[in-house]
Structure 1
Amino acid sequence: MKALSVLALLFSLAACGSDKTSTNGMNLVDEGKFTFASSGEFKPFSVTDTDGKMTGFDIDVAVAIAKELGLDPVQKKFKFGGIVEGVKAGRFDAAVASHTITEERLKAVNFSTPYYYSGPQIFVRPDSSIKTLDDLKGKEIAVSKGSTYAKTAEEVTDKIILLDSDVTALEALSKGKHDAVITDFITGKEAIGAGMKIAGKELLGRSDQAIAIAKDNKKLLEEVNKALQTLRDNGTLTKISKKYIGEDITVDPEKE
Structure 2
Amino acid sequence: MKKAASTLGMIALSLLVSTTSAHAKSLDEIQKSGKIVIGTDGTFPPFQFFADGKLSGFEIDIGNEIAKRLGVKADWKPMAFDSLLAGLTQDRWDIVIASFTITDERAKAVQFTTPLYCTGGVVVSNKPNIKSAQDLEGKVVSAQTGSTYFQKATSLPGIKQVRNFASDSDARNSMVAGRSDAWITDKFVAKLSIEKQPDRGMAVGDLLFTEKVASAVKNNNESLASAYDKALDEMKADGTYEKISQKWFNEDIRCL
Give the shorter-chain TM-score range.
0.7 to 0.9
- Tell me the secondary structure at the aligned position of residue 131 of structure 1: coil
Do residues 210 (structure 1) and 182 (structure 2) align?
Answer: no
Q: CA contact under 8 A between 1:23 and 1:32: conserved in structure 2?
A: no
- Tell me the secondary structure at the aligned position of residue 205 of structure 1: strand
1:42-191 mapped onto 2 (5 Å cutoff) = 42-51=44-53, 53-125=54-126, 127-156=127-156, 157=159, 159-191=161-193
| AA matched with 1:246 | N
Q: CA contact under 8 A between 2:24 and 2:94: conserved in structure 1?
A: no
Q: CA contact under 8 A between 1:88 and 1:214: conserved in structure 2?
A: yes
Q: CA contact under 8 A between 2:24 and 2:221: conserved in structure 1?
A: no
Distance 2:22 2:91 in 1: 10
RMSD: 1.9
Q: Which has the higher contact order (CA 8 A, sep 6+)?
A: 2
Report the CA distance shift for 1:30/1:19 in structure 2 as closer, same or farther (over 3 A). Answer: farther
Shift of 1:242: 0.5
Report the CA distance shift for 1:153/1:34 in structure 2 as closer, same or farther (over 3 A). Answer: same
Distance 2:225 2:24 in 1: 16
TM-score by length of 2: 0.84
| AA matched with 2:121 | P
- Tell me the secondary structure at the aligned position of residue 209 of structure 2: coil
Distance 1:222 1:118 in 2: 23
Shift of 1:20: 5.7
Shift of 1:49: 2.7
Shift of 1:219: 1.1
Q: CA contact under 8 A between 2:143 and 2:164: conserved in structure 1?
A: yes
- Tell me the secondary structure at the aligned position of residue 227 of structure 1: helix
Matched length: 232
Q: CA contact under 8 A between 1:120 and 1:206: conserved in structure 2?
A: yes
Question: How many percent of aligned residue pairs carry the same amino acid?
Answer: 34
Shift of 1:244: 0.8
| Bigger CA radius of gyration | 1
Shift of 1:92: 1.1
- Tell me the secondary structure at the aligned position of residue 250 of structure 1: coil
- Tell me the secondary structure at the aligned position of residue 129 of structure 1: coil
Name whichever of 74-83 and 178-187 sits farther off. 74-83
Runs of 5+ consecutive residues of structure 1 not aligned to the other structure: 1-16
Report the CA distance shift for 1:119/1:18 in structure 2 as closer, same or farther (over 3 A). Answer: closer
TM-score by length of 1: 0.84
| AA matched with 1:209 | V
Q: CA contact under 8 A between 1:45 and 1:59: conserved in structure 2?
A: yes
Distance 1:99 1:20 in 2: 20
Runs of 5+ consecutive residues of structure 2 not aligned to the other structure: 1-20
Report the CA distance shift for 1:170/1:60 in structure 2 as closer, same or farther (over 3 A). Answer: same
Shift of 1:58: 0.6
Distance 2:90 2:206 in 1: 37
Name whichever of 154-163 and 105-114 sits farther off. 154-163
Q: CA contact under 8 A between 1:19 and 1:29: conserved in structure 2?
A: no
Distance 1:168 1:63 in 2: 27
Q: CA contact under 8 A between 1:95 and 1:211: conserved in structure 2?
A: yes
Report the CA distance shift for 1:245/1:152 in structure 2 as closer, same or farther (over 3 A). Answer: same
User: Which structure shows the bigger proportion of residues in helix conformation?
Assistant: 2
Q: CA contact under 8 A between 1:29 and 1:93: conserved in structure 2?
A: no
